[in-house]
Amino acid sequence: MEVAEKDKKQELKEFIDSVKDKEHGDSYLIAVLHKAQGLYGYLSREVMDTIAQQMQIPTAHIWGVATFYHYFNLTPPGKYVVSVCLGTACYVKGAPQILEAVKNDLKIDLGGITEDRLFSLQLARCLGACGVAPVVMVGDKIHGEMTPKKVVEVLNQYRKAEKKQ
């Protein structure tokens, strides 16, 4: 585990080194935050401090940027992030009921995480899969044409897969 952490740090550092001396190096901050979130799953205070030092940008500014955009998590997400799409197409096709069903099944609220850290729940504003609305994204997989019943089945599949491992 220790080694993996070190690798992540090294990879982040290499990425920052590859962009910071480019023209307008500061403008790559969001790209760096994407990279960091890809490695760690979220942006912790420590990671932001590291980025601040390496890019010579105040942590306060980084914090401001990280909190401005919905895509960045400031707390660790679950193993599978469940995003219930509340775009217009999904909304008129019953997404609010899907959201209710997910909340009841996981027994968490939006932004919450299950006790076993398997699932965390968030909203999405259109995943661009309106043709198969309503949709729910689990991890990076999109599940379409959901019903309150089907979505619970989908979650159960992930639970089952987890138990097998």
**Chain residues that interact with another protein, rule: CB under 8 A:** 24, 26-31, 33-34, 61, 64-65, 68-72, 86-93, 124-133, 135, 140-144, 148
**57 Cβ contact list (under 8 Å, min separation 6):** 26, 29, 51
Q: Which is nearer to another protein, 66 or 108 (CB)?
A: 66
CB of 23 to another protein, least distance (A): 9
To another protein, the closest distance from the beta carbon of 85 in angstroms equals 8
Closest CB to another protein among residues 6, 141: 141
The smaller minimum CB distance to another protein, of residues 68 and 163, is found at 68
Structural tokens at position 17: 């080194």
Look at residues 41, 159, 163 and name the one whose alpha carbon lies nearest to residue 105. 159
Closest listed residue to residue 85, CA positions, set 21, 42, 20, 135 = 135
Q: Which is nearer to another protein, 60 or 116 (CB)?
A: 60
Nearest distance, CB of residue 154 and another protein, angstroms: 12
Selection from 148, 26, 48 nearest residue 98 by Cα:
148
Minimum distance from CB of 126 to another protein (Å)?
A: 4
Strand ranges (DSSP E) for 40-117?
A: 80-85
Helices 95-106, 148-164: axis angle to 10 degrees equals 40
Please report how close the Cβ of residue 65 comes to another protein at its closest, in angstroms: 6
The Cβ-side half-sphere exposure at 146, using a 13 Å CA radius, reads 34
Nearer to another protein, 106 or 133 (CB): 133
